């Protein structure tokens, strides 16, 4: 906090001391001058002056102490006075504090996330020394990516060369994100994992929470290091933080691994954007992730999959490191080029000469999630800033209102000799107290908002959010700083009011009046808020209608009474040969559960954003040049269409006879049949080939099914070719669907038990009802709708508070006028009109501005809308009506008060 | 009676001096007290300043920096209306103190 102390000194201590010093010095020097003039020698004069003055240091201390204690005493008295003032006006204080709490709560919640995603450094030793590698240049081979550009990923041999042949790094680590099946005490589940190099924890400088962490000896050779380190959170939730687990064995993808230790508490990963439960040596890749085995990652230069980070040696800069790596990179690439014997000169050039290795700052960790979340978070934080500004504006309005009512009191204090500084500090202290109370309430609100936010924008299940939503020191400091700044701003508004008070006038009048300027400001602020709430309500309405339209979509199959889960036998140690029989056994077990009508499986799950496509050639059809003959290619088990209630338009579905050895068959969807054969009936009996180079047309179409929404609710599936799962060479994991007679939720436990009984190693992944899955698939739309609604509700609340403030003020200051009018026979109805007429005009003007702005803004978001135009009259009229309703409610109280003025009392009071 | 301590009399001297000469810096106040008391009262010069600052914070004095006749920057003090009121009270209670002390001295 050195900065804060310097600022404090600037304001208090040092400036005070300097002034005292100057004053005392002036005194002594004047004495010396006089003595010299009277005939003393300069030395004598100085001695005499000091003698008369006494010890100047002690005097200065005493004077300073006097000033400081009096100043503190003054502040203390101001605080007590301010508390009393606020206590006397509970309605005002509560409104102001709640308004601030909303703004501060929302802003600090968004900052909680913003800080974690974009700002915070990794919780490791000296994070500023960490760097990350990225490469540029052409590439040919396979890549496995967790997100971001392919240049973020390296092959294992390349990583080892970089690690062992550089001179600028204290250590180089590698890591890869993975998802594995874990089985412990016959309980299996899917869990995020990180494959790491042996030196991973050493380079990061981490100490174990229990047991030991990996060392270089844990990365020796392929499949030789069956050890695992647990993350602290996983250890706590899954193993109850028991130290006994060290040394025990758990199954990863069906293979035994020994638990050697637990990672430290606050550390999650060097990659970021997810929270792995376990760490596994990188040499175990083909066991932990069997589907990667065919790539032979450990000695394959042409498979990139590792993120590589390093710690700089002390004193080495990023530029120096990059420069020193350039020749090494060039020679390594030159060696790799030998793998491409038929490379063209152009390829050589791009592969070698135009290739470069870049070193980037990695103090915050590599996070592909950061790239995706950056823009939404910046937008959210700006919106929160806008909201905060509106809150501050409202509180400023309320304070102004109050200041006007207090004009007499303050003018009186001026007249009694109070300085502007004293009055200013009084008002500032009142403002800061409000700000602090608002911050406290906002902080209570913030974690709740943050949790909803994290779930919305990362689309995670409760309990497994990738970001923390708890308050920490940084968020606390941010919130305090924010509330302090805002307090200063809104306290300043009434200050201007009193800068040059018109004493005589203010004292003479019984009720003060605000200056013209501040009245305009207030009305403008309320108008702006009304316009904003119409705008936000309109936007929210469009998003809600979009969501509604999507949910009303016919998807092509029946989503209710349908349970679904993922099952991947290869993740539990089964090979290609045994996988189909396990899938079949699993389906049989599911079908045996009472209450389940039918069950089937596919490799290409519905409505999860998944797409797996493949090329087919059609007999008798000549594709045009550049015509893409790629289709969605789900491999399904018999009974799939019957289970989903996807209509069979012609022919037959698959049977158990459609297996290996039997004639190859396919079922196409309506879109496919219509495009290539004109009708469903026409498609039957036609032949396809899954190889376009040497087509043998050995697959015959035996059926046609209806079209469905596949990836998400917005897009049609397009032409699709379904083939039997039992005829696949590499069958792989499946998504199982079960049609239930009763409420599907009630069968979840029985289903888990059935799978567990079949084989405890099997992981039932993401078991949920299809309706839930549909919800998840529209989660982005829902997030947008929820956020827009939240902001709209806040905006309209603020507008209502603002309107209330302005009307309450004008009623209060016109009590006398209203009394006179009533005494002269005015009708109460007219009096109400008098009070609200002006604001009604302002509201109407705001609406006139807001409606076209809503339409203009909605056009920008058109791609996010579905089945609704930006001119949607239902939405716009509802937004208007709702705003009007809330505003009428806000205006009702002051209007009633105006109408119920008792003329006799109003006039007597004057 | 309670307020009639030594500090009270220093306050009185300062307030009275300022009421006589208008606006003045600390050194000038010391000189004025010496001169006006026919060199009978010698204030310890340093101890004047805590009193000046305290009275300023109490709102009895107002201060500003300006130039002396010899062109030096010095902090000038002047009485506020509150200070004038305080001076009246201090004078009154001092008169009472003097009366009381005299009465005791004459008693015999």
Residue A735, classed as helix, strand or coil, is strand
How far, CA to CA in Å, does A862 sit from each of A537, A866, A879?
A: 16, 8, 18
Q: How far is CA A801 from CA A83, A397, A875, in A?
A: 23, 10, 24
Q: Is the dihedral of CA B103, B104, B106, B108 positive or negative?
A: positive
**CA quadruple A882, A885, A887, A890: dihedral positive or negative?**
negative
Rounded CA-CA distance A431/A508 in Å is 27
CB contact under 8 A, A66 and B73: no
- Write the CA distances from B65 to A147, A481, A868, integer angstroms: 67, 35, 72
Instruction: List CB contacts (< 8 A) between B53 and chain A.
Output: 20, 63, 66-67, 70
CA distance A747 to A769: 10
Comparing A7-16, A179-188, A399-408, A892-901, which segment has the lowest mean pLDDT? Answer: A7-16
- Which among A30, A59, A418 has CB closest to B46? A59
What residues of A are in contact with residue B44 (Cβ under 8 Å)? 52, 54
Place of tokens 């996807």: A646
Residue B1 lies in a domain: no
pLDDT tens readout for residues A583-636: 999 999 999 999 999 999 999 999 887 777 788 889 888 888 778 788 888 999
Least CB–CB distance from B49: residue in A24, A29, A55: A24
A26 vs B50, B73, B81: nearest CB: B73
Nearest CB to A30; choose among B54, B72, B82: B72
Inter-chain touch B25–A74, beta carbons under 8 Å: no
| DSSP 8-state secondary structure symbol assigned to residue A720 | B
CB of A17 within 8 Å of a chain B CB? The answer is no
Nearest partner of A302 among A451, A429, A140, judged by Cα: A140
Helix A368-405 crosses helix A473-499 at what angle (to 10 degrees)?
30
pLDDT at A75 exceeding the cut of 90: no
Q: CA-CA-CA-CA torsion for A337, A342, A345, A349, nearest 10 degrees?
A: -20
* Sequential DSSP letters for A266-313: T---SS-SS--SEEEEGGGHHHHSGGGGGG-GGG-TTEE-BEEEEEEP
Which A residues in the span 48-107 are in contact with B, Cβ-Cβ below 8 Å? 52-56, 58-59, 62-63, 66-67, 70-71, 74
pLDDT for the residue A836 = 81
Q: What is the distance in angstroms between the Cα of A66 and the nearest Cα belonging to chain B?
A: 6
Q: Do B27 and A27 touch (CB under 8 A)?
A: yes
Q: What are phi and psi of A196, to 5 degrees?
A: -130, 155
The boundaries of the domain holding residue B61 are 6-106
Through-space distance between the first and last CA atoms of chain A, rounded to whole angstroms: 54
Give the closest-approach CA distance of A410 to chain B in angstroms.
17
Residue B38 is assigned to a structural domain of this protein: yes
Between CA A678 and CA A685 the distance in angstroms is 14
Interface contact flag, A67 B70, Cβ < 8 Å:
no
Return the higher-pLDDT residue of A622 and A691. A622
Closest-approach residue (CA) in chain A for B70 = A30
Helix, strand or coil, per DSSP, at residue A582? helix
Q: How far apart are CA A651 and CA A134, in angstroms?
A: 54
Average of per-residue pLDDT across B28-37: 88
Burial of A46 by CB count in 10 Å (0-12 exposed, 13-18 middle, 19+ buried)? middle
Closest alpha carbon to A823 in A729, A880, A901:
A901
Query: Can you tell me the distance from the alpha carbon of A441 to that of A98, in angstroms, rounded to the nearest whole number?
Result: 8
CB contact under 8 A, A70 and B54: yes
Q: Is A447 helix (H, G, I), strand (E, B) or coil?
A: helix
Neighbour order of strands in the sheet with B24-25: B24-25, B73-79, B61-67
Contact A74 B57 (CB under 8 A): yes
Count of C-beta atoms within a 10 Å radius of residue A6: 11
* Residue B77 in domain: yes
CA A33/CA A42 separation, integer angstroms: 9
pLDDT score for A191: 87
Contact A289, A254 (CB under 8 A): no
Mean pLDDT highest for which of A316-330, A580-594, A707-721? A580-594
Does B50 sit within 8 Å of A66, measured CB to CB? yes
Is there a contact between B45 and A66 if contact means CB atoms under 8 Å apart?
no
Q: Which two tokens stand for residue A273?
A: 């954007």
Interchain contact, A54 vs B57, CB within 8 Å: no
Minimal C-alpha gap between B98 and chain A (Å): 28
Nearest-10 crossing angle of helices A13-37, B48-57: 130
Q: SS3 string of A806-828? A: HHHHHHHHCHHHHHHHHHCCCCH
Phi then psi for A127, rounded to 5 degrees? Answer: -60, -25
**B33 to chain A, closest Cα gap in Å:** 14
Binned at pLDDT 50, 70 and 90, residue A264 comes out as: very high
Most A-contacting residue of B33, B35, B41, B49 (CB-CB within 10 A), to test interface: B49
How far CA A229 is from CA of A280, A735, A840, A886, in Å, comes to: 7, 30, 67, 57
What would the pLDDT profile of A805-823 be if each residue is shown by its tens digit? 778 777 777 777 888 888 8
**pLDDT tens digit string along A852-877?**
888 888 887 777 788 888 888 888 89
Contact A59 B75 (CB under 8 A): no
Range with the poorest average pLDDT among A241-250, A436-445, A453-462, A742-751: A453-462
Q: Is B52 a member of any domain?
A: yes
A555/A551 Cα distance (integer angstroms)? 9
Average pLDDT over residues A456-476: 74
Kindly determine whether residue B53 and residue A63, on different chains, have CB atoms separated by under 8 Å.
Answer: yes
Rounded Cα gap, residues A285 and A195, in angstroms = 7
State the virtual CA torsion across A593, A594, A600, A603 in degrees, nearest 10.
-50
pLDDT at A717: 86
Report how far residue A720's alpha carbon sits from residue A701's, in angstroms, rounded to the nearest whole number.
12
Residue B30 inside a domain? The answer is yes
* pLDDT of A639 above 70: yes
Interface of B with A (CB under 8 A): 25-27, 44-47, 49-50, 53-54, 57, 59, 68, 70, 72-75, 80-82
CB neighbourhood size of A822 (10 A): 21
Question: What tokens were used for A902?
Answer: 């008792």
Instruction: Annotate A511-568 with three-state secondary structure.
Output: CCCCCHHHHHHHHHHHHHHHHHHHHHHHHHHHHHHHHHHHHHCCCCCCCCCEEEEEEC
Q: How far from chain centre, in Å, is Cα A206? A: 27
CATH no. for residue B87? 1.10.10.10
- Of the partner residues A63, A71, A416, the one whose CB lies closest to the CB of residue B50: A63
At residue A315, the pLDDT reads 87
Question: d(Cα A425, Cα A495) in Å, to the nearest integer?
Answer: 10
Q: Looking at residues A231-237, what average pLDDT do you find? A: 91
| Mean pLDDT, rounded, for A226-242 | 91
* CB nearest A417 (choices: B47, B53, B59): B59
Q: Which chain B positions have a beta carbon within 8 Å of A416's beta carbon?
A: 82
Tell me if B50 is assigned to some domain: yes
Positive or negative CA dihedral for A589, A590, A594, A599? negative
| Beta-carbon contacts below 8 Å between A and B | 70
Instruction: Say whether residue A25 is in contact with chain B using an 8 A CB cutoff.
Output: no
pLDDT tens column, B51-60: 888 888 788 8
B73/A22 Cβ within 8 A? yes
| Two structure tokens written together for B24 | 């003045």
Chain B residues touching A75 at Cβ < 8 A: none
Percent over 90 (pLDDT), chain A: 25
Cβ separation B70–A33 shorter than 8 A: yes
- Contacts with A733 (C-beta within 8 Å, 6 or more apart), sequence order: A566, A567, A568, A569, A570, A571, A603
- Could you tell me the end-to-end alpha-carbon distance of chain B, in angstroms, rounded to an integer? 23
For A726, list phi and psi in degrees, rounded to 5.
-75, -5
Whether the predicted pLDDT of A558 surpasses 90: yes
Contact A242, A300 (CB under 8 A): no
Q: Please state the domain count of chain B.
A: 1
Task: Name the pLDDT band for A167 (thresholds 50, 70, 90).
Answer: confident
The candidate with the shortest Cα–Cα distance to A561, out of A638, A639, A644, A647, is A644
Query: Which has the minimum average pLDDT: A82-96, A407-421, A826-840?
Result: A407-421
Cβ contact, residue pair A59, B57, below 8 Å: no
Whether residues B57 and A70 touch (CB distance < 8 A) is answered with yes
- Nearest beta carbon to residue A54 from set B25, B45, B57: B45
Residue labelled with tokens 């592969």: A351
Cβ contacts of A574 within 8 Å, gap of 6 or more: A254, A582
DSSP A734: E
Asked if residue B51 is part of any domain, the answer here is yes
Q: Interhelix angle for A516-552 vs A779-813, to 10°?
A: 150
Residue A1 is predicted with a pLDDT of 39
How many C-beta neighbours within 10 Å does residue A378 have?
12
As for the ipTM of the complex, it is 0.86
**Residues of chain B found within 8 Å of residue A67, distances taken between Cβ atoms:** 53, 57
CB contact under 8 Å between B45 and A27, yes or no, is: yes
Indicate whether B95 belongs to any domain. Answer: yes
Q: Using CB atoms, pick whichever of B44, B49, B81 lies closest to residue A63.
A: B49
């Amino acid at each position: 906090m050195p900065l804060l102390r310097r600022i404090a000194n600037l304001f208090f201590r040092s400036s005070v001391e300097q002034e005292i010093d100057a004053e005392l010095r002036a005194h002594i020097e004047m004495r010396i001058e006089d003595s010299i003039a009277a005939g003393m020698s300069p030395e004598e004069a100085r001695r005499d002056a000091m003698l008369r003055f006494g010890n100047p240091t002690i005097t200065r201390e005493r004077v300073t102490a006097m000033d400081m204690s009096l100043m503190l005493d003054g502040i203390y008295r101001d605080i007590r006075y301010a508390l009393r003032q606020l206590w006397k006006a509970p309605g005002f204080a509560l409104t102001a504090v709640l308004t601030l709490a909303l703004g501060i709560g929302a802003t600090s919640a968004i900052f909680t996330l913003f800080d974690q995603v974009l700002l915070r450094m990794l919780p490791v030793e000296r994070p500023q020394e960490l760097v990350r590698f990225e490469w540029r240049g052409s590439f040919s081979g396979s890549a496995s990516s967790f997100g971001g550009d392919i240049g973020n990923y390296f092959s294992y041999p390349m990583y080892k060369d970089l690690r062992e042949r550089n001179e600028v790094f204290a250590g180089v680590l590698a890591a890869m994100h993975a998802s594995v099946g874990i089985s412990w005490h016959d309980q299996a589940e899917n869990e995020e994992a990180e494959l790491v190099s042996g030196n991973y924890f050493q380079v990061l400088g981490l100490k174990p929470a229990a047991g030991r962490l990996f060392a270089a000896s844990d990365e020796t050779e392929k499949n030789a290091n069956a050890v695992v380190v647990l993350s602290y959170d996983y250890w706590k939730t899954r193993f109850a933080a028991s130290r006994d687990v060290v040394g025990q064995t758990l199954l990863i993808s069906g293979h035994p691994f020994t638990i050697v230790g637990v990672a430290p508490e606050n550390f999650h990963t060097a990659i970021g954007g997810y929270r792995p439960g376990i760490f596994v040596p990188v040499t175990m890749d083909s066991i932990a992730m069997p589907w990667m085995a065919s790539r032979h990652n450990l000695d394959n230069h042409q498979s990139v999959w590792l993120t590589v980070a390093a710690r700089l040696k002390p004193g080495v800069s990023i530029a120096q490191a990059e420069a020193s790596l350039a020749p090494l990179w060039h020679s390594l690439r030159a060696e790799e080029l030998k793998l491409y014997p038929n490379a063209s000169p152009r390829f050589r050039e791009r592969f070698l000469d135009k290739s470069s290795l870049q070193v980037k700052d990695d103090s915050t960790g590599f996070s592909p999630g950061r790239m995706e979340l950056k823009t939404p978070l910046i937008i959210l934080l700006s919106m929160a800033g806008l909201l905060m500004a509106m809150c501050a504006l409202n509180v400023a309005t309320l304070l102004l209102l109050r200041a006007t009512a207090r004009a007499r009191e303050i003018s009186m204090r001026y007249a009694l000799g109070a300085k502007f500084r004293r009055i200013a500090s009084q008002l500032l202290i009142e403002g800061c107290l409000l700000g602090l109370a608002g911050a406290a309430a906002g902080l209570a609100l913030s974690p709740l908002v943050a949790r909803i936010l994290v779930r919305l924008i990362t689309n995670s299940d409760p309990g497994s959010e990738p970001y923390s939503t708890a308050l920490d020191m940084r968020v606390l400091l941010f919130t305090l700083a924010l509330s302090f700044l805002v307090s200063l701003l809104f306290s300043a508004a009434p200050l201007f009011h009193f800068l040059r008070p018109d004493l005589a006038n203010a004292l003479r009048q019984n009720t003060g009046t605000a200056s013209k300027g501040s009245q305009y400001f207030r009305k403008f602020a309320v108008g702006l808020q009304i316009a904003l709430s119409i705008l936000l309500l309109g936007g929210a309405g469009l998003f809600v209608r979009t969501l509604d339209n999507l949910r009303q979509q016919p998807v092509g199959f029946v989503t209710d009474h349908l349970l679904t889960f993922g099952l991947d036998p290869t993740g539990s140690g089964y090979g290609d040969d045994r996988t189909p029989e396990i899938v079949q056994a699993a389906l049989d077990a599911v079908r045996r559960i009472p209450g389940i009508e039918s069950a089937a499986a596919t490799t290409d799950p519905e409505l999860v954003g998944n797409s797996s496509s493949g090329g087919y050639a059609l007999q008798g059809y000549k594709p045009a040049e550049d015509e893409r003959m790629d289709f969605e290619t789900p491999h399904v088990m018999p009974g799939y269409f019957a289970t989903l209630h996807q209509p069979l338009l012609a022919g037959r579905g698959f049977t158990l006879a459609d297996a290996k050895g039997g004639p190859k068959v396919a079922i196409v969807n309506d879109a496919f049949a219509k495009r290539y054969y004109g009708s469903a009936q026409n498609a039957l009996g036609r032949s396809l080939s899954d190889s376009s180079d040497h087509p043998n047309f050995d697959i015959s179409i035996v059926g046609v099914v209806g079209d469905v929404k596949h990836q998400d609710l917005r897009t049609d599936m397009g032409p699709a070719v379904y083939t039997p799962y039992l005829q696949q060479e590499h069958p792989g994991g499946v998504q199982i669907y079960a049609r239930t007679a009763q409420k599907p939720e009630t069968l979840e436990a029985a289903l888990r038990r059935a799978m567990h009984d079949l084989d405890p190693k099997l992981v039932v992944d993401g078991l949920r009802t299809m309706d839930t899955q549909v919800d998840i698939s529209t989660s982005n739309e829902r997030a947008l709708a929820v956020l827009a609604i939240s902001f709209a509700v806040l905006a309209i609340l603020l507008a209502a508070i603002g309107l209330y403030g302005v009307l309450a003020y004008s009623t209060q200051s016109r009590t006398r006028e209203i009394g006179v009018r009533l005494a002269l026979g005015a009708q109460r109805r007219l009096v109400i009109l008098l009070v609200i007429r002006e604001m009604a005009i302002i509201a109407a003007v705001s609406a006139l501005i807001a409606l076209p702005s809503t339409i203009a803004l909605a056009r920008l978001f058109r791609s996010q809308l579905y089945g609704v135009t930006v001119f949607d009259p239902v939405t716009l009229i509802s937004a208007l009506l709702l705003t009007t309703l809330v505003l009428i409610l806000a205006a009702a109280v002051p209007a009633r008060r105006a109408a119920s003025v008792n003329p006799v009392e109003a006039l007597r009071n004057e | 009676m309670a307020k009639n301590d030594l500090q009270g009399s220093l306050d009185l001297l300062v307030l009275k001096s300022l009421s006589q000469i208008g606006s003045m810096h600390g050194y000038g106040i010391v000189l004025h007290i010496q001169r006006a008391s026919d060199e009978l009262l010698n204030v310890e010069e340093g101890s004047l300043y805590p009193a000046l600052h305290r009275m300023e914070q109490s709102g009895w004095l107002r201060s500003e920096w300006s130039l002396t006749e010899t062109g030096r920057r010095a902090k000038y003090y002047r009485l506020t209306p509150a200070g004038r009121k305080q001076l009246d009270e201090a004078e009154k209670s001092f008169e009472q103190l003097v009366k009381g002390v005299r009465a005791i001295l004459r008693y015999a």
